[in-house]
Structure 1
Amino acid sequence: MLDKRQIRQEIKHRKQGITPDERERLSRQICRAIESLPGFERVVHLMLYHALPDEVDTRPLLSKWARDKQLYLPIVDGDDLIVAPYAEGAMKQGAFHIWEPTGTTAIDPARLEWIVVPGVAFDRQMNRLGRGKGFYDRLLQQTPARKIGICYGLQLVDEIPTEPHDMKMDLIVTENDIIYKNDEIWH
């Protein structure tokens, strides 16, 4: 089994083969798959993220659902993520050059129903490999929200080494696949 550093390196290499047009097309497919999930229409409090250039772009969801759902984005605050309401146009570049909401008050993560989570890699045992700082793991421990990992299909690996603090996903969505941890929670 590869270690976390090796997996990050391998995925970075794989992603270099994705063209900007492919990235946009695949991101739209993944966003449509999220919208097709059972229960999506009932979710009111949904946390997304503003993608880095190598991540699945969630802007199609942000623009389409900003008026019908209460959307939230993470803000890097020291070693943690806080959750703030999304308002189109009220954004600034924050830590790591990630776009974040401005002038908003953090909400209790327990309020969230679903969280769409980026990752460097995922496996079919619902494990996620992040960038190594533990931001999402700490946030996900604070909420009962459904945890939906999203990635390009090439980011799925056979096995990710885990540690006790690593949070599992409830669902993983790629352009080719929807991987469920437990069917019952989605019906």
Structure 2
Amino acid sequence: MPPSSDLPIPTASKSEWRAWAREVRAALPDQSQALTAHLAAFLHLHRARRVLAYRALPGEPDVSALAGQFELLAPRARWKPEPHLTLHAWETATELSRFGALQPPASAPRVLLGSVDAVLLPALTFDEQGVRLGYGGGFYDRLLPGFTGLTVGVVWADLIVPTLPTEAHDVRGQWLATELGVRTTRTTTPPIRYS
């Protein structure tokens, strides 16, 4: 973890935390291969088959290597009537979203969330309790209330902080996957190495 003096103060706004996370992330090496190895072992252990993943933005861990081992789904951001995500087959993600990541086109057949075993949550940063700080659209917060499968935050280890600002509607990850391993957010135990 970066030195605590580099962290915004605990009462910092979400925009200050986002600026901090972008700056830290820009300086980190890509360790997607190590991260996906841990994540694959974890998902196999939990017998996950159908997994909602994400197409990585620059600087995010790239989880696309999981595609050969699991039935991956890709989200599409929709803006009307309110912002929400729809789920589609991974290979249909061929269109550039307004965020800059590949997403399925509007015409791609949809998959129901109830058929999903695990959701991989991208974020700028997470805290040790699984609080997620995304990009500000609230898409996963709208998608996941009531979801009973695994929710796994995917982030570089240096971007896990002690505490982030949170609101009642924020969805938390149950697990955090980093290049060092996968750990539960219920405790602050060291990462469990699944590979």
TM-score (norm 1): 0.84
Instruction: Deviation per CA, 1:19-78: give whole Å up to 9, x if none.
Output: xxx31xx1111100111116447222111100001211112112x33xxx3220100111
Unaligned ranges ≥5, structure 2: 1-9, 188-195
Aligned to 1:157: 161
Q: Retained in 2: the 8 A contact 1:11–1:154?
A: no
Instruction: Tell me by how many angstroms 1:179 deviates.
Output: 2.2
Instruction: Tell me by how many angstroms 1:142 deviates.
Output: 5.1
Instruction: Describe how 1:83-98 pairs up with structure 2 within 5 A.
Output: 83-87=87-91, 91-98=94-101
Q: Retained in 2: the 8 A contact 1:123–1:158?
A: yes
Aligned to 1:27: 32
What SS does the corresponding residue of 1:42 show, helix, strand or coil? coil
1:5 is aligned with what amino acid? S
Instruction: Tell me by how many angstroms 1:95 deviates.
Output: 2.7
Name whichever of 71-80 and 171-180 sits farther off: 171-180
1:12 to 18, 22, 29: 22
Q: 1:117 to 1:55 in 2, by over 3 A?
A: same
1:74 is aligned with what amino acid? P
1:123 to 122, 127, 137: 127
Aligned to 2:190: none
Q: 1:38 to 1:74 in 2, by over 3 A?
A: closer
What SS does the corresponding residue of 1:82 show, helix, strand or coil? strand
TM-score (norm 2): 0.81
* Partners of 1:61 and 1:4 in 2: CA distance: 31
1:46 to 51, 75, 78: 51
What SS does the corresponding residue of 1:37 show, helix, strand or coil? helix
Number of paired residues?
173
Compare the two structures and name the one with the higher helix fraction: 1
* Partners of 2:157 and 2:146 in 1: CA distance: 28
Q: Retained in 2: the 8 A contact 1:147–1:169?
A: yes
Q: Percent of counterpart pairs with the same letter?
A: 24
2:39 is aligned with what amino acid? I
Query: Segments of 4+ in structure 1 off by > 6 A?
Result: none
Instruction: Tell me by how many angstroms 1:143 deviates.
Output: 2.4
Unaligned ranges ≥5, structure 1: none
Aligned to 1:75: 76
